[in-house]
Structure 1
Amino acid sequence: MKSGLQRRLLLLLLAPMGVLAVLGAYFDYRTAGNVALQQDQQLLRLIPLLADSVVGPGTEQGTPPILLLAPAIEEFVKGRANAGGFRVSDAAGNFVAGEAWIPVVLPPTFDAEFHSVEDRGISYRIVVQRAKTTAGELILQLADGADPRQQWVRSMLLTVLLPNLVLVIAAGFAFNWAVTRALRPLIELKEAVERRSPRDLSAIDPLATPAEVQPLVTALNRLFDLVNDQAEGQRRFVADAAHQLRTPLAGLQAQVEAWAQAARASGKEGAVTLSADKVLRLRSATRRTSQLANQLLALSRADASVTSAQPMQRVDLRELCESVLPTQLDAAMKKGIDLGLETQPAQVTGHEWLLRELLSNLVDNAIKYTPTGGTVTIRCGPCSRPDAQGVEQSGAYLEVEDDGPGIAPHERSLAVQRFYRVKGTQEEGNGLGLAIADEIARLHRSQLELGDARPATEGEQTARRSGLKVRLQLV
């Protein structure tokens, strides 16, 4: 915004000023040229009077001729003290009368000629003419040091260029201040849109923007409404589908569980083995489908537009961990996993039900991928983390650590994507557990940190690490 619209406005404002300054200098020069032309015409009128001022030859041989300056010539000389004068020379150019410093010029004809001469830092305009007088043929010269064009060149820097340059610089600062103030609402609008979450589709207040931008804001709000309606329809479909699937899937799973128990307890050994195997496969499929429906429902509920209408509250992480632990004990005991708790008092601001969903998914994942006899540990406690400006802020952390196969570093960014399964995984799953947890973390302006449960040994540098530690820092 600043480098685009503001720069163009400044250029469009300053460019005419520069053009006007150049035009002003040009017209000043033209004015000086007109005055100089009038001066040349005056010198042409005076040179015949200088010839008439020679009233006769010298009284003796070799003496200068007798001069009686005409009033106009006398006034011209007196009016230009130290900046003008005349010279009378004989036909060969020898000095006869007047100012000896005026350089002699020998014109080939009797026509008047003009020359410019620099002397003692003054530029002179000189008219010279060969004329026949009562004292014989003489060379007459009039010098005028008040040449407007030469004065214009000398005073160009101080009277034209420097004031115009100062004016353009001052105008540049003034225009920059004015344009910045005028564009401030537009820049604030741009910054407000940049600070928005990609899922924040709330309308922008048109009355808080300049009148010229209000049509654009209205169009953006219309687009936000369309996108929001489409996203809301998708969320509603996922939530309704998942909710509708839960009841029949729960009934189907209950029936399959009963069949599995009945298959183990009845019939001959061979027949029971075949029947139980098929029923157990069916039970596994129904469990996975039921889990998928629940996870899709959780993913839909974790959407930013849904949670934005619900205020955040203070959440005690220790109580949260203690409430999640009993719900995961049965699954841990079936695999002989040591499910432990290491907590310290810590509180954060957030949505308690979403944080519980996040922690449940992390613990469920850890138990699922930890081998029999392994260990899963839930931790929480105070910590600090830098904000956007790099200032440390006090907060708290949630952490789940296991000693399962872990996730290779190059797969960790993919593991939080929806429906992604880590290569080589044998356990059943839908690839949504970490995705749901990461979605909830982003709603709390944070993100999941995946790392090794313990440092890798030398032989494990290129292999999969042993154990996974998932950490979430909150404020």
Structure 2
Amino acid sequence: MAESARPSLRRQLLLWLLLPQLVLWAGGGLLAYRIALAYAEKGIDQSLTQSVRSLARQVKPIGSCLLVDFPRAAQDVLEADPTDRVSYMVSSPPGEFLLGNQRLPQPDGMSSAQGEPLLYTASLDGKPMRFVAMDVSYGETGSPQTLRVQVAKGLAVQQRIAGELVADMLAPLLALGVLLSLAVYGGIQRGLTPLTRLTAQLENRSVNALSPIAATQAPGEVHALVQAINGLLGEVARSVQQEKRFINDAAHQLRTPLAGLISQVELAQRQTGDPALAERLAKVHTGAERSAHLVHQLLTLARTESQVRREPLDLAALARDVAREWTPRALAAGMDLGYEGEEHLQIEGDALQLREALSNLIDNALRYTPRGSSITLRVRQGSDGARLAVEDNGPGLSADDLNHVFQRFWRANESPGGCGLGLAIVQEIAHRHGGEATVQSLRPQGLRIELRLV
């Protein structure tokens, strides 16, 4: 899984802490809007009830007739505001237009008592409006009649008041929500600081640094995690120590009998005169030497995988010393072994492991380069670290083989003596020094293996 696809603990905490807050804020805004609408509607209902009673008082029955005392000025006041339009209608019998706006809808099944207002909501000209209707009895005892007075008012003002009220309420809440979100984010950052510090401690450790992690000021949860990691590190350290002891003991136990076997085979080769037996003894001698070389390489590989003890050293002087040590063997093989490069180059490194890497590179060149070839050690200062290289003018490797040279137990051919671990050890030593080993074909022929040391 890609790094970006992994769920972040910080992101999850922010999501679970801020998302409910956002949902509650939106739900609270909707509830506040509904409550504001209800209170605004209640105010409109009270206003309509007063208006319908006042209008009913202006209609005065005289016997079986009606006297409507509704001045023009009062009518202008009711219809003055087009955005908050107030319409009225007087009808008798109910529904038979007498005065006002005859398009006012009638209530469905008016069942309120005489003289009691009935409130309802309906549409007028495609707009929702709030209505109130009140029936008033008049006429003589023998012929009673009913007068209906209706007043309607638009809901635009109600909605505007509710919106303004909600906005005035939610704006401070939104500001408080932003401040709360910042406080939550800061709290999460502070709370995750021990985990960040623990991550930095683990990232800055070398591969073989198995000492316990210090977490004296960590919270209880992180302290428990540190204790678990320290327990795991202790188990790994014990396992590594057991593995090292086993490899050392096995190598020691194997080298002694192999050395004795090689000595006995060499003695038998000098004493025998049978060509067939001499040929068989030569094969045994080759196998024994290869086994001894494999044991040595396995032991070296185990040691290179331990922690590097980096100390100040002169890389150029080290390379010259190794070249002098291998010169007799190079001369015996009919090859020219030399050094070119810096006179002195100070670095921080493990002298024992770097000496082993150089020895493996020279040994590899001597094994696979024909007589008469030249082998050169080079030391130089690069832009990204010290460079240590071994070059030869032998046959080199194919492009496909170059991709496998640092693999363990891989061999370019079946020449006797090699075991396929020398260059793997070189790469491991380069990694332990913060760099890498690279291989490059030379022209017209040859091979260069270079270590970059940081």
- On whether the aligned pair clears a TM of 0.5, the verdict is yes
Taking only aligned residues, the RMSD between alpha carbons, in angstroms, comes to: 3.9
1:294 matched residue in structure 2: 296
Using the TM superposition, give the Cα deviation of residue 450 of structure 1 relative to its aligned residue in structure 2, in angstroms. 1.1
Aligned partner of 1:15 in structure 2 is 19
Could you say if the C-alpha distance between residues 401 and 147 of structure 1 is closer, same or farther in structure 2, counting changes exceeding 3 Å? closer
Aligned residue for 2:159?
A: 150
Q: Which amino acid aligns with 1:425?
A: E
2:373 alignment partner in structure 1: 374
Structure 1 residue 436 and structure 2 residue 417: aligned? no
Instruction: State the partner residue of 1:414.
Output: 404
Residue 54 to residue 354, structure 1, CA distance change in 2 (3 Å)? same
Alpha carbons 2:392, 2:446 under 8 Å: kept: yes
The answer to whether residue 40 in structure 2 is matched with residue 40 in structure 1 is no
> In 1, Cα distance between the equivalents of 2:30 and 2:382?
72
Counterpart residue number, 1:227: 236
Amino acid at match of 1:447: E
Match of 2:387 among 397, 417, 432: 397
Amino acid at match of 1:55: K
Instruction: Provide closer, same or farther for how the CA distance between residues 87 and 281 of structure 1 changes in structure 2, counting only shifts above 3 A.
Output: closer
Q: What is the SS of the residue equivalent to 2:167?
A: helix
Hey, what does 1:242 align to over in structure 2? 251
| 1:356-412 deviations in Å (ceiling 9; x for gaps) | 111011101101110122221111111112xxxxxxxxx321111123333333334
- Normalising to structure 1: TM-score of the pair? 0.76
Structure 1, 7-16 or 154-163: larger mean CA deviation? 154-163
1:290 aligned partner, one-letter code: A
The number of aligned residues is 427
Q: Could you tell me whether the CA contact under 8 Å between 2:45 and 2:119 is conserved in 1?
A: no
Q: Is the 8 A contact 1:418 1:432 kept in 2?
A: yes
Q: Distance in 2 between matches of 1:429 and 1:193?
A: 38
Structure 2 vs 1, CA of residues 442 and 369 (structure 1 numbering), >3 Å: closer, same or farther? same
**8 Å contact from structure 2 (residues 254, 295) kept in 1:** yes
Q: Does the 8 A contact of 2:36 with 2:162 survive in 1?
A: no
- Give the letter aligned to residue 398 of structure 1: L
Gaps of 5+ in 1: 69-73, 97-101, 386-394, 456-465
Distance 1:116 1:151 in 2: 19
Structure 2 CA distance for aligned equivalents of residues 429 and 106 of structure 1:
106
Change (3 A) 1:25 1:133: farther
Q: Deviations over 1:4-48 (max 9, x none)?
A: 322221122123212322342344213542562475366447634
SS of the residue corresponding to residue 431 of structure 1 reads coil
Given that 1:10 and 1:176 are in contact with CA atoms closer than 8 Å, whether structure 2 keeps it comes out as yes
The residue that corresponds to 2:114 in the other structure is: none
In structure 1, C-alpha distance between the alignment counterparts of 2:401 and 2:213, rounded to whole Å = 39
The 3-state SS of whatever aligns with 1:207 is coil
1:207 aligns with 2:216: yes
Residue by residue over 1:136-158, the C-alpha shift from the partner in whole angstroms, topping out at 9 and shown as x without a partner, is 86552335568885245532773
Match for residue 68 of structure 2?
A: 65
Alpha-carbon distance in structure 2 between the residues aligned to 1:304 and 1:149? 80
Listed one character per residue, the Cα deviations across residues 404-461 of structure 1 (whole Å, up to 9, x for unaligned) are 3333333344332332222x33232122211221221111011110111226xxxxxx
The residue matched to 1:373 in structure 2 has which SS? Answer: coil
State yes or no: 1:447 paired with 2:436: yes
Q: TM-score, normalised on structure 2? A: 0.79
- The amino acid across from 2:16 in the alignment is L
